[in-house]
Amino acid sequence: MSLTHARGRPKRSVTYMRDRPRRWPNRPADRHKAEARTGRLFTAPAMCLLLIFLIIPIALAFSLGFTDAKLSSPQPTRWVGLSNFEDLLSIKPLTLDEARVRELAGPEGTVRTALRSLTKNGSGTPYEGMSVLSDSVAADGKSGSFWLAGDPLFWKSLRNTAVFALVVVPVQGGLGLLLALLVNSRFRGRVFFRTVFFLPVVMSMVVVSILWAFLYEKDGLVNNAIKAVYPSWDPIAFLADPSTALPAIIAMSIWQAVGFHMIIWLAGLQTIPAELYEAAKMDGAGPWRTFTSVTWPGLRHTFVFVLVTITIAALGMFTQVNVMTKGGPLDSTSTLVYQAFAEGYGKQRIGYASAISFVFFVLVLCVALIQRRLTREKDA
Amino acid sequence: MTTTVKARRTLARTAFYAAGALLSLAFLLPMVFMIVSSFKGKLQIFEDLESVRAFLPVGDVGLDNYQGLFSRVPLARFYVNSLLVSFLVVGLGLVINSLAAFGIARMRWRGQGIVMGVLIATLIVPFETLALPLLYWVNNLPYVSFATGTPELTTGWINTYAVQIVPFIANAFSIFLFVQFFKSIPREIDEAAFIDGAGFLTVYRRIVVPLSGPAFATSAILTFLPIWNSYLWPTMVVQEEGLRPLPVGLDYFFQSNTAEGVPWGQIMGYTTLVTLPIMVLFIVFQRSFVASVANSGIKG
């Protein structure tokens, strides 16, 4: 649209134009040029910063995984192709029967010693350098089958990340909706409830992690609270037990972030026109029918947003793990981002860590695409 | 008949409030415990764990933890660091991002479609993916150091304030938010201003900024919270104690076990000091906080 010039009475606008400062030229062509120049000038500072601190790092994220980059190393960085990804992703099944064990480790040898001869460096076997991810060894220790992985921690981290997301997404999303429905109904004190449910969101995750680490101790409040309900409860140190550490972190993470999604749901609920509820009431719909026919369809877009944001946040879980457990006990709480941090920052292996980050990103992208596809089909 | 209906309604309301109250307890009690424990001696904290006293300021109550805390860690320094970093990121970010959005939303130039497309595409990249490449990158970037009094060209931004601030000033999501908002302001206003001889900068300063209060508030809150609470990035780039922001200082304090075990009382004091100001801020600005979060959902 060419400003004042196009709309009638050119004479008048021309007289005004003459009073204008010079940076706003008279001829339309010059004016467009000036507008373009100003527009680029305004946008330039942000774009330069984004180029340096977002676009280039994105390019690096995609390329460093193919190198042996170290954080600070006198040697130049070399291109190593897919070898980081091979180390990271390689996984092989192996079954050793008694005959093979005898052949590898002699008549007295066990399946473990036989395995070690296959995986030790310089053995020249396809299993060289791999470690045991899971095993089932016969009672006499003379035979067994194994899953071997180049990096067992990666598969454990991947599994933990998946478990975390699979639990957190439905529970946090559902609980958030429940809380939103609660504070959306008209009653005294709903602002109070809304504030209370949202409070943990503004807390730093480090603070929340440390606070809950204390609550989860063996003589801590959580155990005492359970004991008050079930007197026969045997207290456990939640974060020190491989079977409870991840669930404990999951519960606390839901507690911290559910308020955020309550607000998103609430915003969605408030876009549903009140007339629809009145119509449903007139048709004699009960609460459940109203929910399935009016509320839920009206929340479709909110649903997609909540689903995607919770999933991405859940896949990126890091702070809780680094503060509370450092990935332990027995790697039971390590996640992809935590592993990438430990490799890249802890061991300075930026190349390998970037490969992990790359896998993490592909995972996020896949999940986002699948969710978009799923929800789009529902639209049609 | 009417009495049973009334009775049922009262019952329903009571159940409703009971559920709400129980839920609020689940959210409030850990925080109450944190604040109350920060005033108790270590023995008192553990003695009270088994009863309701854990949530009440009773027994050996005092400010010892806070005194001990300030002599153990440079908490005031951490505070200043966090404030400095957050305010600069938010303040500079508001200016630079809104200017960029103004350039995109209200002027026409070739290539702005591409710029906007790239911006939106970057929104799906989680920071966790970028953290390590960014660490590698800033570790190799040139930096002008003033350590000796005269400017000196060195390499690596690690252990500076700049590395905590500069990478986060420009924010694709903020720009996107501003663009959406600026587009809703009628362009006829600009035209009227041009006739009066105003330039774009005047239009931005005198018209668009004053009309965009909600957009600025949303952007400010949504960039302030993650920066104030940020942990992954400062953990990696700040080893010097004097440069640490609050969460990193807290984590170091928590991880550094002393001979007498974890000093829980002092830790609760620290977490309280980190949390209280932001909670007060939240309760005061409750409306804009909630509106910001809600906005991020609707626009996203």
> Does the CB of A260 have a partner CB in chain B at under 8 Å?
yes
In sign, the C-alpha dihedral spanning A104, A108, A113, A117 is: negative
DSSP A314-336: HHT--HHHHHHTTT-STTTT--H
Chain A stretch 6-65, residues whose beta carbon is closer than 8 A to a beta carbon of chain B: 13, 16, 19-21, 23-24, 32, 35-43, 45-47, 49-50, 53-58, 60-61, 64
Interior CA angle at A357 toward A355 and A362, to 5°?
Answer: 95
User: CA–CA distance from A355 to each of A58, A60, A62, B130, B172 (Å)?
Assistant: 13, 11, 8, 12, 25
**ipTM associated with this complex:** 0.89
State the distance between the two ends of chain A, measured CA to CA, in whole angstroms.
36
DSSP B236-266: HH--SGGG--HHHHHHHHHHS-BTTB--HHH
Nearest to A264 among B97, B102, B293 (CB): B293
Two structure tokens written together for A104: 């590898």
Whether B299 shows a pLDDT value over 50: the answer reads: no
* Cα distance between residue B131 and residue A344, in whole Å: 10
Mutant choice from B16, B132, B135, B141 vs A, greatest count of A C-beta within 10 A: B132
Nearest to B125 among A58, A69, A196 (CB): A58
User: CB distance A49–B293 less than 8 Å?
Assistant: no
Q: Tens of pLDDT along B191-230?
A: 888 888 788 888 888 888 999 998 999 999 999 999 999 9
Residues of chain A contacting residue B110, judged by C-beta atoms under 8 Å apart: 36
The burial of B82, by beta-carbon neighbours within 10 Å (0-12 exposed, 13-18 middle, 19 or more buried), is given as: buried
Tell me the average pLDDT of chain B: 87
* Cα distance between residue A210 and residue A217, in whole Å: 11
DSSP annotation of A77: P
* Cα distance between residue A327 and residue A336, in whole Å: 10
Q: Specify the pLDDT at position A23.
A: 52
DSSP B54-103: GGS--SSBSSHHHHHHHHHS-HHHHHHHHHHHHHHHHHHHHHHHHHHHHH
Tell me which of A273 and B152 has the higher pLDDT.
Answer: A273
Residues of chain A contacting residue B126, judged by C-beta atoms under 8 Å apart: 312, 315-316, 360-361, 364
Mutant choice from A33, A49, A253, A372 vs B, greatest count of B C-beta within 10 A: A49
> Does the CB of B116 have a partner CB in chain A at under 8 Å?
no
Size of interface A-B (CB pairs under 8 A): 294
Can you tell me whether residue A167 is helix, strand or coil?
Answer: helix
User: CB distance B99–A43 less than 8 Å?
Assistant: yes
Rg of chain B over all Cα atoms, to the nearest angstrom: 25
Q: Specify the pLDDT at position B298.
A: 60
Mutant choice from B17, B38, B124, B136 vs A, greatest count of A C-beta within 10 A: B136
Residues of chain A contacting residue B48, judged by C-beta atoms under 8 Å apart: none
Sheet containing strand A91-96, edge to edge, reads A91-96, A144-149, A131-137
> Does the CB of A251 have a partner CB in chain B at under 8 Å?
no
Which residue type does A330 have? L
* Cα distance between residue A2 and residue A28, in whole Å: 7
State the distance between the two ends of chain B, measured CA to CA, in whole angstroms.
50
Q: Specify the pLDDT at position B290.
A: 87
Interior CA angle at A342 toward A75 and A85, to 5°?
Answer: 65
The burial of B212, by beta-carbon neighbours within 10 Å (0-12 exposed, 13-18 middle, 19 or more buried), is given as: buried
Residue A303 CB coordination number (10 Å): 20
> Does the CB of B20 have a partner CB in chain A at under 8 Å?
yes
Do residues A306 and A264 touch, judged by C-beta distance below 8 A?
yes
Q: A234: alpha, beta or left, given left = phi > 0 and alpha = psi -120 to 50? A: beta
* Cα distance between residue A148 and residue A170, in whole Å: 33
Do residues B233 and B164 touch, judged by C-beta distance below 8 A?
yes
Residues of chain B contacting residue A221, judged by C-beta atoms under 8 Å apart: 30, 33, 49, 54
* Residue of A366, A363, A365 whose CA lies nearest to A160: A363
Give the residues of chain A that fall short of pLDDT 50.
Answer: 1-19, 380
User: CB distance B293–A1 less than 8 Å?
Assistant: no
Do residues A96 and A144 touch, judged by C-beta distance below 8 A?
yes
Q: Tens of pLDDT along A192-207?
A: 899 999 999 999 999 9
> Does the CB of A305 have a partner CB in chain B at under 8 Å?
yes
User: CB distance A207–B275 less than 8 Å?
Assistant: yes
Chain B stretch 60-89, residues whose beta carbon is closer than 8 A to a beta carbon of chain A: none
DSSP annotation of A67: B
DSSP annotation of A51: I
pLDDT-above-90 percentage for chain B = 43
* Cα distance between residue A158 and residue A337, in whole Å: 10
Comparing alpha-carbon positions, the chain A residue that sits nearest to B297 is: A264
Q: Specify the pLDDT at position A25.
A: 62
* Cα distance between residue B174 and residue A151, in whole Å: 39
Residues of chain B contacting residue A205, judged by C-beta atoms under 8 Å apart: 229, 231, 247
Comparing alpha-carbon positions, the chain B residue that sits nearest to A4 is: B191
* Residue of A260, A181, A215, A226 whose CA lies nearest to B29: A215
Two structure tokens written together for B299: 């626009």
User: CB distance A198–B290 less than 8 Å?
Assistant: yes
CA distance B48 to chain A (A): 10
Whether B180 shows a pLDDT value over 60: the answer reads: yes
Phi/psi for B289 (5° steps) reads: -55, -55
* Residue of B213, B180, B220, B212 whose CA lies nearest to B92: B220
Task: Give the contacts of B165 (CB within 8 A, at least 6 positions apart).
Answer: B85, B88, B89, B92
Tell me the average pLDDT of chain A: 85
Q: What is the dihedral of CA B184, B186, B191, B197, to 10 degrees?
A: -70
Cis peptide leading into A152, omega within 30 of 0? no
Comparing alpha-carbon positions, the chain B residue that sits nearest to A321 is: B232
Task: Give the contacts of B40 (CB within 8 A, at least 6 positions apart).
Answer: B48, B57, B59, B60, B61, B65, B265
* Cα distance between residue A177 and residue B138, in whole Å: 41
Packing angle of the helix pair B64-72, B264-284 (nearest 10 deg): 100
* Cα distance between residue A310 and residue A172, in whole Å: 8
Q: Specify the pLDDT at position A24.
A: 57
